[in-house]
Amino acid sequence: MVATIIETHPAPFNRIPVDPITLDIVENALRNARNEMDAVLFRTAMSPGIREQHDAFPLIANEEGKMVVGQFGSFLYGFMQGYEGTIEEGDIFLTNDPYSCNGAVSHLNDWLLMMPIFHEGRLVSWAAMFGHMTDVGGKVPGSLPTDAKMIYEEGIIIPPSKIYRGGELNSELLNLLLANCRMPEWNKSDFFAIIAALRLAERRVRENIARFGTDTYISAMQDMLDRNKSAMAAIIQMIIPENKAYFEDWIDDDGMGNGPYKIACTLWRDGEVAYFDFTGSDPQSSSSINFLLNEEMFKMFFGAFTINLFDPQILFNDGFYDLVDVHIPEGSILKPKKPAALSCRTHMLGRIFDLMGGLLGQGAPDALNAAGFSDSPHFMYSGFDSNEEWYQLFQIGFGGIPGRPAGDGPDGHSLWPAFTNVPNEFLEAYFPLRIREYSTIIDSGGAGLHRGGNGIRIAYEMLEPGEISIHDDRWLTSPWGVNGGEPGTRSSKTLNRIDGTVENLPSKCDRISVQPGDILFFDTWGGGGWGDPLARDPALVMADVNRALVSVDGAKRYGVVIVDEQVDEAATAALRTSMASAQTGTEKQLFNRGFTSIEELKSRCLAETGFEPPKAPRFAAHTARTQASH
């Protein structure tokens, strides 16, 4: 069953021609409304994850739920396919349950609010937004337990529900939800901030309709979807060959000593349609690294990736979805079966972007990106302070963006372009910690004609007893370089205790006890390099050395010799000749992972990382039984 839309004065929709000037006015009005939604949210939310880092995603959609403007859309389709009730004027829906909306949201921390917009009794549009709540209950502060085996361990589950019905707030339901969270005031503030953003979008939609009329407004949105489809059709024809391309990558481990977990995809084009087949990906894990990947959501990822790569001026929306077909095997790590745990899906979600880069670039190597900061590593710190008041920090770390055809990868940037860092002054003012160091990690970006971006080191000094949790990846596998570029460096986490002991922490761990004076060195990974490092202008290498992005020794990876803070041209020419001669007869790799097989990588693991190699992936028990029965 699907949702039933109740219109009190239904009227047939008449698509009419919209002149280019009116179309541009409506498009820019909706773009601005989407930006205003963000502005309202960021000025009224309380949690640093939303207020400071902007971990929230708005959209405005047409009456069918297709995103017309937004950043991280496509969740309305999954909601409407899974919801069996009515949709009426004055309703606002709330859910965080991935399984009840086909992965429209992918873990319980994301509270998704959706509001149908009616005009004169007729559904004309939708406004929606979800935000990452710092805590939704569950077994650990932050609600992202590494060792969860079922989603029930991860927090309170909200099936699609009318949090507003006919314009009236269901306060009892909201109070129930807040009572199951460790930070109820933050959740309450963030909730009403999202509501305010939706109300703002509603006003802007009605202003457009008042100016141009309902049929013109809806027709303009359809024209915007059609323009996107035409642009994406041209891009698909240009970059996706008819011959099949295959690529695979890995999540290093599940936080329980098992891994790596493979995601694999085959890509080809048949006519104007691009096909993505994830057959070959590992079965679902018994831990929480599973990612319930909604097919419509993947299409959104693909569109965002290609549009930003080829023409960022194209309005990104859902118009092109008929041009993409996606197959994800049931029971795989990308489509786990309920009640598989999902809270730590971030690593798999981020790695999808590296996978797309590896697939799309094979047909057009000159447009290929290296692997980069394909994750949103989490740092969490919580406890009771000296005043017996609860504190709880959730922060997303940044790292190195890959080298690209257009140039170097940015240093210390987010996977998500709209994210910003939490200012150190904010952290120190609101949480019992001190930032001892905040810097890029020299030489962490992969060498190349275009250098990979450097990772970031944040040194947190704890000022109160408490517990920390860390969720990160790329400690085992390196972010690969392309077209002769070198891999970026891996991540690491080191805890220097006040008593002088030093602990190397795994990339995924929960409830690590800390004391005042303990310092955590949170190092993220760099981006892979693009192109032959020996072709990089020595002056650019010198500039990187002056900016402390590359060391004097690191400059030799580019064949550049620096003496007395200047490039030694004769020594550089000699070194580059020697390095080029050593490469003679060696075929330049399209992808440079830094290893040839997982087995080889595991054999070097202890010496290179200080950790024992992970064991073979541990799949969910019922998945193993299903495989055996077949």
Per-residue pLDDT at 1: 53
Non-local (6+) Cβ contacts of 403 within 8 A are 369, 370, 409, 445, 446, 448, 449, 450, 451, 452, 453, 481, 482, 485, 527, 528, 529, 530, 531
Please give the distance of CA 624 from its chain centroid, rounded to a whole number: 29
601 burial via Cβ count (<10 Å: 0-12, 13-18, 19+): buried
Rounded to whole angstroms, the Cα distance separating 421 from 187 reads: 20
Strands 4-5 and 86-87: parallel
Helices and strands (DSSP H and E) totals, the chain: 13, 26
Rounded to whole angstroms, the Cα distance separating 311 from 303 reads: 11
pLDDT digits (tens, 9 = 90+) for 97-156: 999 988 889 999 999 999 999 999 999 999 999 999 999 999 999 999 999 999 999 999
Non-local (6+) Cβ contacts of 230 within 8 A are none
Per-residue pLDDT at 192: 98
Dihedral sign, Cα of residue 36, residue 352, residue 529, residue 363? negative
C-alpha distances in angstroms, 365 versus 282, 370, 445, 594? 27, 10, 20, 19
Rounded to whole angstroms, the Cα distance separating 331 from 335 reads: 6
Its pTM stands at 0.93
Per-residue pLDDT at 625: 45
211-245 in b/e form (b: 16+ CB < 10 A) is ebebbbbbbbbbbbbebbbebbbebbeebbeeeeb
Non-local (6+) Cβ contacts of 7 within 8 A are 118, 121, 122, 123
Q: What value does the CA radius of gyration of the chain take, rounded to a whole number of Å?
A: 25
- Look up residue 94 and give its amino acid: L
Mark out the alpha helices in 213-322 (DSSP H runs).
214-239, 295-310
Rounded to whole angstroms, the Cα distance separating 516 from 497 reads: 9
| Cβ contacts of 16-23, under 8 Å, gap ≥ 24 | 16/215, 16/216, 16/219, 17/219, 18/216, 18/219, 18/220, 18/223, 22/212, 22/216, 22/220, 23/220, 23/223, 23/224
* 485 φ/ψ angles, rounded to the nearest 5 degrees: -75, 155
Q: List, run by run, the mean pLDDT of 10-residue segments along the chain (630 residues).
A: 82 91 96 96 95 93 93 77 90 96 91 96 96 97 96 97 97 98 97 98 98 97 95 91 95 96 97 97 97 91 82 85 96 97 95 92 85 91 96 95 94 84 94 97 98 97 98 96 96 98 97 98 97 97 98 98 97 96 85 94 94 92 46
Q: How many CB atoms lie within 10 A of CB 41?
A: 24
